[in-house]
Each structure stands twice: as C-alpha cells, then as structure tokens.
C-alpha cells in the first residue's frame, strides 16, 4: 500500500499550489457608499405690487383701463411705477407744466403725459406694436390699413405733421387718436389731447 502516501502527497501538493496564487490574480470589490445630504433652503421673496406696464386697448379717451384725466395713483395701481419720470419744461419757468412717465415694453416705449397743474393724465404716446386699438391697428401697420379701417373719419393733423387723427367725437376734436406716419407706416400712436400749433 505504498500508493496511498504518494496519492496523499500529490493531493497536498495540488492544494498548496492552488493556495499560493499570485496576488495580482485576486479581485477585490470595493463598494463606496456616498451619503447625500439634502439641505433645504428657503428663499425669502419680497413681493411688491408691480405691473408689466400699460396694457389693454388704445382709444381716444383711454389706454387700457386708465382713462384720460386719471390721477397718478390710479395709473400706478393699474400699470405700476414707470421706469423713468421726466419733467418737461417748455421754458416758462416755475413748475414744469408736464411730467412724462416712461414705461419700457417689448419693442418700444409707452409714455404717459401728465398735466402737472391738474395732476392728471393728459395724453399718451405708444411706440410699440404690443398695444393695439379696438380695431387692431398698431405701430408698424401700413397707412393703407389705417385708412381702410377708419376711412372718412380720419383728418389731417392740426400742426401739419405727417399724421392722421381719429376723434372720438366730431372729426378733429379731442379726445383723439393721432397716428404719426413715416414712409407710409405708423411709427407712433398718441391718445388723448391733440398736439396744438405753437402759441395755442
């Protein structure tokens, strides 16, 4: 029975060889655990009552919900604070007779003109196509569309500018919409009082 020790020796040798493998052959699995810390931050937002500026339809006697003759507080409530205020001094000295409130809208400005004596809205100028008349007329429209829309109700500007006037009452009277033209297109729409010739 000399085979048994030989067989046992062979088995032991195989086990020793199997246990003595190269360190490079071993695979180590490392599991990384990442802890995510969620921090809840509260942002304090102070909300002030502001508006995006003038909106609504343009008419001879109003811009949106604000009528010609409205007080400054009513305008601020409807449209918010203007981006700029400009005193208009016509050279008479003393308090400027007019103050302009300028609102910046997409595509152009809107200027509200206040009579400082009456402290009320006297007129407005629109230089953006985002506001339209009840009939859909806006800055950038051709003169031909303006004439087609208002027809014989249009009159020439009293100061001889290249502009046409659409009055709420009798032709050529206030309140009115004045459409300033350049190269056959509307470049501005004024509502409220008419611009008068110098000296009147």
Record the tokens describing residue 66, joined without a space.
């604000």
pLDDT reported for residue 197: 54
Peptide bond into 175 cis (omega under 30): yes
Size (the chain), residues: 200
pLDDT reported for residue 90: 64
Rounded Cα–Cα distance for residues 112 and 71 (Å): 12
pLDDT reported for residue 145: 98
HSE-up (13 A, CA, CB side) for residue 150: 25
Give 3-state DSSP helix, strand, coil % of the chain, rounded to 5: 20, 30, 50
pLDDT reported for residue 160: 66
CATH architecture of 58-88+97-192: 3-Layer(aba) Sandwich (3.40)
pLDDT reported for residue 48: 35
Rounded Cα–Cα distance for residues 193 and 181 (Å): 18
pLDDT reported for residue 91: 61
For the chain of 200 residues, list the mean pLDDT of each consecutive stretch of 10.
46 44 47 42 34 92 98 97 90 76 96 94 97 97 97 87 91 94 96 69
Rounded Cα–Cα distance for residues 60 and 165 (Å): 10
């Amino acid at each position: 029975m000399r085979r048994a020790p030989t067989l046992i020796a062979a088995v032991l040798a195989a086990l020793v060889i199997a246990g003595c493998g190269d360190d490079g052959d071993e695979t180590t699995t490392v599991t990384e655990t990442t802890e995510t810390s969620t921090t809840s931050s509260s942002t304090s937002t102070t909300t002030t009552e502001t508006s995006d500026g003038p909106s609504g339809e343009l008419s001879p006697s109003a811009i949106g919900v604000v009528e010609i003759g409205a007080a400054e507080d009513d305008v601020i409530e409807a449209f918010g604070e203007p981006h700029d205020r400009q005193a208009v001094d016509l050279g008479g000295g003393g308090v400027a007779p007019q103050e302009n409130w300028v609102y910046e809208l997409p595509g152009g400005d809107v200027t509200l003109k206040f009579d400082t004596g009456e402290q009320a809205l006297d007129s407005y100028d629109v230089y953006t196509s985002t506001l339209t008349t009840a009939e859909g007329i806006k800055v950038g429209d051709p003169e031909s569309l303006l004439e087609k829309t208002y027809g014989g109700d249009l009159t020439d500007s009293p100061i001889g500018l290249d502009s046409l006037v659409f009055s709420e009452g009798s032709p050529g009277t206030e309140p009115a919409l004045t459409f300033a033209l350049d190269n056959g297109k509307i470049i501005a729409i004024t509502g409220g009082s008419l611009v008068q010739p110098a000296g009147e």
